[in-house]
């Protein structure tokens, strides 16, 4: 079959309105393209989420190169603010416009195109896997985790994995990611006793307690950074009381904080610390403090070595830039893959992801396919 055009495939995927968790036809399209390229495809749907597992080569091969990505996209935002059709995949001035064009349908298209061409021209001694989810931008409960669960139950495995999220701040080749910070969110509800502002002795104001707790939590320096990470950070996101009166002490106030933490911590230790501080404040002020948590992911790092060297050399060969090893940014599905096999991330420039008029350089899509193709070539050529 002729070489797969990654730009055309990106455009076809962008035309699929796959706002999370709607499949939108994107995985149906990928299954058709990959099946025609010799990949065995299996839908691994769970709950309301659609996922696709595609493998070329035999199960249990001596080595299997895996790729993880997603076809779901974030909502459009203010559709009237778009100057190009958000699902039109129109090309203007060298850019392909559309929701998901950068994050990350172009990455999926580039890897699928590279993999199909590679196995057709130089069938490797090993296997290639694409694990594509429709639930990365949403709750991420039934997406990549469902794929990994299915792989475990069916004796499928990746030796190493590349996640194709955008990793470059400004130009191709700047950075690859070898880890991610952990992320957790805590909601605090402090309950006192409502009363008249002129008679504070007959009330129990929760506001000073909340001010104290937020100050204690946000003032602490969690660490000074580690070998691969910047310092951890706790940010107060909101304090809400909803009290329109000027003469009423409120009964309750709420607040939310988010922590982005490095590999000096885990969510269990941070939870214990916040609970201890909340208990102290509750005792000091005579109020009740309830804490609710959500952990989006733990901090992790893939130590620099064979995998990061493989990707870094391919990037440098194709772009002339040696990518720095980064751990910045939010969370990605690499936080799930790291429990299965070594994982790194490399993708396009992410300047416009999630924005109105999201767009991707047409030239960079072709460049990314070349990088992925070289990675596959070098991986299977190694002894």
Asked if 168 and 280 sit in the same domain, the reply is: no
Q: Which residues of 155-172 are buried (b: 16+ CB within 10 A; e: fewer)?
A: ebbbbbbbbbbbbbeeeb
| Dihedral, 25, 30, 32, 37 alpha carbons, nearest 10 | 170
- Residues 258, 350, single domain; the answer is no
- Residue 351 in any domain: the answer is yes
Same domain, 136 and 281: no
The pTM for the full model equals: 0.91
- 242 and 127 in a common domain: no
**For residue 244, is it within any domain?**
yes
Q: Is residue 10 part of a domain?
A: yes
Count of the separate structural domains present in the chain: 2
pLDDT class of 1 with cuts at 50, 70, 90: confident
pLDDT of 106 higher than 80: yes
Domain boundary among 277, 297, 317: 297
For 77-118, where are the E strands, in sequence order?
A: 91-92, 95-97
Distance CA 99, CA 352 (A): 10
Q: What is the mean pLDDT of the chain?
A: 97
Asked whether residue 83 falls in the same domain as residue 142, the answer is yes
Question: What are the strands, taking DSSP E only, across the chain?
Answer: 40-43, 51-56, 64-70, 91-92, 95-97, 127-133, 160-163, 175-177, 179-180, 182-191, 195-196, 233-240, 248-249, 252-261, 288-297, 300-301, 324-326, 343-345, 359-361
In a domain? residue 1: no
Q: Is 136 a catalytic residue?
A: yes
- Tell me the two tokens of residue 139: 């709750």
User: Domain containing 70 — which CATH number?
Assistant: 3.40.630.10
Mean pLDDT of 309-334: 96
Q: What are the distances in angstroms from CA 44 to CA 132, 138, 272, 312?
A: 10, 17, 37, 32
pLDDT in tens, 64-84: 999 999 999 999 999 999 999
Please indicate, yes or no, whether residues 290 and 309 belong to a single structural domain of this protein: no
**Residues 259 and 377 occupy one common structural domain:** no
- Is 279 inside any structural domain? yes
Percent share of the chain, pLDDT over 90: 97
Looking at the structure, do residues 26 and 105 belong to the same domain, yes or no? yes
Q: Which of 297, 319, 335 is the last residue in one of the domains?
A: 297
**Residue 197 belongs to some domain of the structure:** yes
Would you state the pLDDT for residue 269?
98
Task: Single out the catalytic residue among 103, 117, 135, 136.
Answer: 136
Instruction: Check whether residue 40 and residue 164 sit in a common domain.
Output: yes
- Express each pLDDT in 235-256 by its tens digit: 999 999 999 999 999 999 999 9
CATH of the domain at 258: 3.30.70.360
| Angle ∠(327,110,95) on CA atoms, nearest 5 | 90
Q: Which domain holds residue 103?
A: 6-180+299-381
Q: Which residue has the tokens 């107060």?
A: 236
Under the banding of pLDDT at 50, 70 and 90, the label for residue 320 is: very high
**Helix, strand or coil, per DSSP, at residue 186:** strand
Predicted local confidence at residue 51, as pLDDT: 98
217-227 pLDDT, tens digit per residue, is 999 999 999 99
pLDDT digits (tens, 9 = 90+) for 164-219: 999 999 999 999 999 999 999 999 999 999 999 999 999 999 999 999 999 999 99
* Together in a domain, 144 and 274: no
Q: Among 297, 316, 345, where does a domain finish?
A: 297
- pLDDT of residue 263 exceeding 90: yes
Same domain, 97 and 224: no
Domain membership flag for residue 236: yes
Catalytic residue among 23, 72, 156, 358: 72
Instruction: Indicate if 221 and 285 belong to the same structural domain.
Output: yes
- Six-digit token string for 82: 């778009």
**Residue 72 a catalytic site member:** yes
Question: Under 8 Å CB-to-CB from 28, ≥6 apart: which residues?
Answer: none
Distance CA 12, CA 247 (A): 60
**Residue 283's pLDDT is what?**
98
| Residue 330 pLDDT | 85
Q: Give the model's pLDDT for residue 329.
A: 87
Does residue 17 form part of some domain? Answer: yes
Q: 135 with 70: CB under 8 angstroms?
A: yes
């Amino acid at each position: 079959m002729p070489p797969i055009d990654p730009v055309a495939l990106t455009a076809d995927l962008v035309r699929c309105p796959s706002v999370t968790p709607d499949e939108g036809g994107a995985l149906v399209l990928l299954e058709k393209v990959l099946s025609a390229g010799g990949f065995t495809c299996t839908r691994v749907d769970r709950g309301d989420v659609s996922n696709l597992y595609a493998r070329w080569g035999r199960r249990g091969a001596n080595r299997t190169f895996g790729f993880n990505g997603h076809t779901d996209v974030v909502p459009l935002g203010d559709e009237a603010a778009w100057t190009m059709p958000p699902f039109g995949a129109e090309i203007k001035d060298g850019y392909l416009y559309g929701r998901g064009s950068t994050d990350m349908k172009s990455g999926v298209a580039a890897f699928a195109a590279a993999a199909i061409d590679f196995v057709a021209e130089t069938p490797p001694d090993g296997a290639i896997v694409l694990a594509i989810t429709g639930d990365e931008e949403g709750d991420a409960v039934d997406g990549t985790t469902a794929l990994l669960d299915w792989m475990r139950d069916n004796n499928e495995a990746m030796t190493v994995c590349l996640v194709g999220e955008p990793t470059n701040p400004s130009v191709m080749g700047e950075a690859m990611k070898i880890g991610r910070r952990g992320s957790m969110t805590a909601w605090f509800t402090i309950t006192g006793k409502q009363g008249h502002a002129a008679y504070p002795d007959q009330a129990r104001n929760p506001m000073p307690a909340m001010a104290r707790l937020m100050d204690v939590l946000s003032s602490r320096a969690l660490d000074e950074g580690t070998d691969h990470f910047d310092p951890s950070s706790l940010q107060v996101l909101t304090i809400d009381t909803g009290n329109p009166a000027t003469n009423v002490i409120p009964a309750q106030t709420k607040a939310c904080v988010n922590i982005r933490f490095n590999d000096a911590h885990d969510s269990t230790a941070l939870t214990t610390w916040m609970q201890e501080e909340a208990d102290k404040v509750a005792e000091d002020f005579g109020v009740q403090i309830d804490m609710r948590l959500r952990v989006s992911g733990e901090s992790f790092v893939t130590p620099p070595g064979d995998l990061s060297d493989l990707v870094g050399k391919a990037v440098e060969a194709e772009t002339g830039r040696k990518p720095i090893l980064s751990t910045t940014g939010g969370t990605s599905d690499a936080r799930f893959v790291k429990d299965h096999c070594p994982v790194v991330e490399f993708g396009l420039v992410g300047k416009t992801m999630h924005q109105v008029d999201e767009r991707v350089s047409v030239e960079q899509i072709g460049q990314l396919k070349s990088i992925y193709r070289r990675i596959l070539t070098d991986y299977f050529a190694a002894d």
